[in-house]
């Protein structure tokens, strides 16, 4: 009979907490820049000059059709080869922003395209500049329409941080691997880690849905679900 | 509706127009094509300050296209168009400046659904003209009173009827203090009762001296409100005159059109 042994929880608690913080840190640091980059790329794909559109398309397709870990290695070792030295945390965040930006761009593109043309014409006729129209009219509505998809994408990104120990950013999965190699209690360790990820993902969803309550006053007032 | 409670529209004089009797809108032999199809075949038309001009005609006669040329939504290939002192064929035309003087209301309202009525109305004055927060609130009160919707300041568009939404759209244009208002079939999506409330709003604006061009299928309304009715047919101004010309059409085409419309 297999005997469970969770004593590592006690012995390695500081390492686990450090790992959790690193996972949270990478996620939080990547969400806003990733969203801004993705939105900008979506606008570039929809409104840019032909060469801008082409660059945006190449970026989106290149990122969405290659593994994240290859992108991370390429950035981390590539920059090192160019004598640009950044820490593993910074490299991880940059890679995540570039990665999630491409997916966000596609989600936001759908959001922008769902806005009736008449509204943009009305904004034009009220003498709003294209940028004012984008910020005041288009982005708020696009975000509102694709919000659940954005939340899923950011949760996926949080889970994807689990590969970052490969460039020695010792996040939660990296810590788990380290504990497992000392204790040989892989079954228990990865069970606990999975529960931690489940908790983190639920918390992230909860926070992002709470943000929606604050950000979309119309939904709050009229009680329309997202 | 208490007529006395409705504030009058302040008309400003455009610097380019003051001291002259220039018409506010002047089409001269204006031509427009979509590819090989010529939709406007030489339009001549003048609208002077304070006038109400109704454009009528069948679908495809070019009346909406002509109207949309006035605020630069449609470009044209030949001829001249002057609006509020702006030359619309000029290469360096500043459309945003023109559009601060020319308001337009569409058939499909095109309100911003994520903003309240007040936010819809004050967005452009705040962002384009830099009107302050309290001043914008006052402005919203003023223009919403003009369209009889003072009690809907905090409502969202989807909580309003079609007629109310259209009146908010009118208020939103008025908030920019335009010199000229364009109405593009603004009642075509509404039932007769809601049509009535929107038309009464437009009538009041006319009585207040607003210069207006409207594309409409409401013949009785065109006759009673317009100083000039313009019947368009096949991309041309076919017949034009005071509202009563509808009672005594000079051309077969207008006779047929009026006969089918009333």
* Overall average pLDDT of the B39-46 stretch: 95
Answer yes or no: is pLDDT of B226 > 90. yes
Contact residues of A toward B, CB < 8 A: 116, 118-119, 121-129, 132, 136-137, 140-141, 144, 216, 218, 221-222
Residue A196 maps to a domain: yes
**Do the chains contact at A121 and B110, CB–CB below 8 Å?**
yes
| Contact check, Cβ <8 Å, B156/A124 | no
At A163-201, the pLDDT tens digits run 999 999 999 999 999 999 999 999 999 999 999 999 999
CATH number of the domain where residue B123 is located: 3.40.50.300
- The answer for residues whose C-beta is within 8 angstroms of residue B85's C-beta and 6 or more apart is B14, B15, B16, B17, B22
**Binary contact (B176, A121; C-beta < 8 A):** no
Answer with the residue of higher pLDDT: B9 or B103: B103
Q: For B139-241, where are the E strands, in sequence order? A: 180-184, 211-215, 228-233, 236-241
Among the listed residues A1, A2, A8, A18, the one whose alpha carbon sits nearest the alpha carbon of residue A181: A8
- Nearest Cα of chain A lies from the Cα of B153 at a distance, in angstroms, of 14
The answer to whether residue B48 sits within a structural domain is: yes
CA distance A149 to chain B (A): 19
Q: What angle do CA B105, B106, B112 make, to 5 degrees?
A: 85
- DSSP, collapsed to helix, strand or coil, labels residue A71 as helix
As for how many domains chain A has, the answer is 1
The verdict on residue B10 lying in a domain is: no
| Mean pLDDT value across chain A | 95
For residue A2, is it within any domain? no
d(CA A29, CA B180): 50
For residue B252, give every residue at least 6 positions away whose Cβ sits within 8 Å of its Cβ, in sequence order, or none: none
pLDDT in tens, A82-109: 998 889 999 999 999 999 999 999 999 9
Can you tell me the mean pLDDT for B155-184? 96
- Identify the bridge partners of residue B230 per DSSP, sorted by sequence position: B55, B240
Q: Are A132 and B127 in contact (CB under 8 A)?
A: yes
- Which residues make Cβ contacts (< 8 Å) with residue A205, sequence separation at least 6? A151, A155
State the pTM of this model: 0.88
- In Å, how far is A34's CA from the nearest CA of chain B? 24
A132-141: Cβ within 8 A, 24+ apart: A132/B127, A132/B128, A134/A43, A136/B112, A136/B123, A136/B127, A137/B112, A138/A112, A139/A39, A140/B114, A141/A111, A141/A115, A141/B112, A141/B113, A141/B114
Asked if A105 and A38 count as a contact pair (C-beta separation under 8 A), the reply is yes
Q: Is residue B12 part of a domain?
A: no
Taking the CA atoms of chain B, what radius of gyration do you get in angstroms? Answer: 18
CA angle (A189, A192, A195) in 5-degree steps: 150
Rounded distance, CA B48 to CA B140, Å?
28
Query: Is residue B4 situated within a structural domain?
Result: no
Which one, of B205, B234, B214, lies nearest residue B68 by Cα? B214
Q: Which residues of B touch A221 (CB under 8 A)?
A: 156
What is the DSSP secondary structure assignment for residue B148, as one 8-state letter? Answer: T
Domain that holds residue A100: 8-222
Name which of B71, B112, B158 is nearest A119 (Cβ-Cβ): B112
Q: Taking CB atoms and an 8 Å cutoff, what residues of chain B touch A116?
A: 108, 110
Q: Is residue A1 part of a domain?
A: no
Quick check: is B83 in a domain?
Answer: yes
The model's pLDDT over B100-145, given as tens digits with 9 standing for 90+, comes to 999 999 999 999 999 999 999 999 999 999 999 999 999 999 999 9
Q: Annotate A100-119 with three-state secondary structure.
A: HHHHHHHHHHHHHHCCCHHH
User: In this predicted structure, what is the pLDDT of residue B4?
Assistant: 43
Does B8 fall in a domain? no
Distance between A117 CA and the closest CA of chain B, angstroms: 9
Task: Say yes or no to pLDDT of B261 above 60.
Answer: no
Residue A192, φ and ψ in degrees, nearest 5: -65, -40
Number of domains in chain B: 1
B127/A121 Cβ within 8 A: no
Q: Is A158 within a domain?
A: yes
Residue A187's CATH number = 1.10.3720.10
Helix (H) or strand (E) holding B31: strand B25-34
A130 contact residues in B (CB cutoff 8 A): none
Report the SS3 class of residue B234.
Answer: coil
Whether residue A41 lies inside any domain: the answer is yes
Q: Does some domain include residue A3?
A: no
| CB contact (8 A) between residue A218 and residue B110 | no
Cβ atoms < 10 Å from Cβ of B81: 23
* Domain extent for B158: 23-261
């Amino acid at each position: 009979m297999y005997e469970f042994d969770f004593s590592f929880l006690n012995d390695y608690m500081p390492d686990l907490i450090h790992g959790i913080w690193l996972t949270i840190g990478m996620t939080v640091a990547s969400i806003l820049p990733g969203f801004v980059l993705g939105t900008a790329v979506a606008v570039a794909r929809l409104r840019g000059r032909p060469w801008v559109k082409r660059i945006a398309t190449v970026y989106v397709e290149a990122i969405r059709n290659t593994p994240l870990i290859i992108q991370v290695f390429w950035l981390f070792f590539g920059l090192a080869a160019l004598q640009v030295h950044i820490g593993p945390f910074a490299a991880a965040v940059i890679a995540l922003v570039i990665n999630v930006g491409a997916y966000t761009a596609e989600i936001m593109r759908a959001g922008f395209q769902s806005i009736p043309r008449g509204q943009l014409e009305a904004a034009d006729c009220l003498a709003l500049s294209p940028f004012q129209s984008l910020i005041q009219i288009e982005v708020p509505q696009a975000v509102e329409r694709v919000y659940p998809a954005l939340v899923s994408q950011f949760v996926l990104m949080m889970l994807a941080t689990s590969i970052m120990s490969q460039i020695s950013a010792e996040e939660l999965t990296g810590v788990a691997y380290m504990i497992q190699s000392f204790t040989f209690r892989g079954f228990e360790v990865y069970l606990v880690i999975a529960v931690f990820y489940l908790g983190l993902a639920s918390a992230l969803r909860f926070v992002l849905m709470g943000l929606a309550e604050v950000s979309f006053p119309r939904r709050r007032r009229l009680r329309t679900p997202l | 509706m208490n007529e006395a409670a409705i504030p009058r529209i302040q008309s400003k004089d455009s610097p380019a127009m003051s001291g002259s009797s220039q018409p506010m809108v002047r089409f001269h032999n204006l031509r427009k094509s979509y590819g090989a199809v010529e939709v406007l075949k030489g339009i001549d038309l003048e609208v002077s300050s304070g006038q109400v001009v109704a454009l009528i005609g069948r679908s495809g006669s070019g009346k909406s296209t002509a109207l949309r040329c006035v605020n630069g939504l449609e470009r044209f290939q030949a001829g001249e168009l002057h609006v509020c002192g702006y030359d619309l064929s000029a290469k360096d035309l500043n459309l945003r400046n023109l559009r601060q003087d020319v308001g337009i209301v569409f058939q499909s309202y095109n309100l911003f659904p994520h903003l309240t009525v007040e936010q819809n109305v004050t967005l452009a004055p705040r962002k384009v003209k830099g009107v302050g927060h309290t001043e914008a609130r006052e402005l919203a009160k003023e223009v919403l009173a003009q369209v009889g919707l003072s009690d809907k300041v905090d409502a969202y568009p989807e909580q309003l009827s079609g007629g109310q939404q259209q009146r908010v759209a009118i208020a939103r244009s008025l908030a920019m203090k335009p010199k000229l208002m364009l109405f593009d079939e603004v009642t075509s999506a509404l039932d007769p009762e809601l049509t009535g409330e929107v038309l009464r709003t437009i009538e009041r604006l006319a009585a207040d001296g607003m210069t207006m061009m409207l594309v409409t299928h409401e013949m009785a309304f065109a006759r009673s409100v317009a100083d000039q009715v313009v019947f368009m047919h096949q991309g041309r101004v076919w017949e034009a005159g005071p509202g009563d010309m509808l009672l005594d059409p000079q051309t077969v085409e207008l006779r047929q059109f009026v006969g089918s419309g009333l």
